[in-house]
Amino acid sequence: MVAMNDRKPRFALGQVVATPGALDALETAKQTPIEFIQRHVVLDQGELDEEDQQTNLEAVANSERVLSSYLLSDGTKIWIITEADRSSTCLLLPEEY
């Protein structure tokens, strides 16, 4: 697990995009994408279990896809996925995957 005081970016995000559903959910919850992107890029565990967190650590080391899962203030789950080639990062709702 990444220490909470280790806030250095762990990988490149590429172009950051979001689905309409994710943007609507963020607006409803009165939250911004940047707070979750900042957590994602430092591998903040969010809603991931230890096994998925370990998978992310390996993904960073091996240039594979990185997935984060967070809960918005209203309980809506949001995912953030950075592609293996680091060309893009997408915020989306799980049902939009």
The predicted structure's pLDDT at residue 2: 45
Q: Which residue do the tokens 């709702």 mark? A: 93
Which strands make up the sheet holding 77-82, listed edge to edge? 15-18, 88-92, 77-82, 66-71
Question: 70, 46 in Cβ contact below 8 A?
Answer: yes
What is the pTM assigned to this prediction?
0.92
Which pLDDT belongs to residue 7?
82
User: CB-hemisphere CA count at 13 Å for 2?
Assistant: 24
Query: pLDDT 10s digit of each residue in the chain, 97 long?
Result: 444 446 899 999 999 999 999 999 999 999 999 999 999 999 999 999 999 999 999 999 999 999 999 999 999 999 999 999 999 999 999 999 9
Compute the distance between CA of residue 63 and CA of residue 86 in angstroms, rounded to an integer.
8
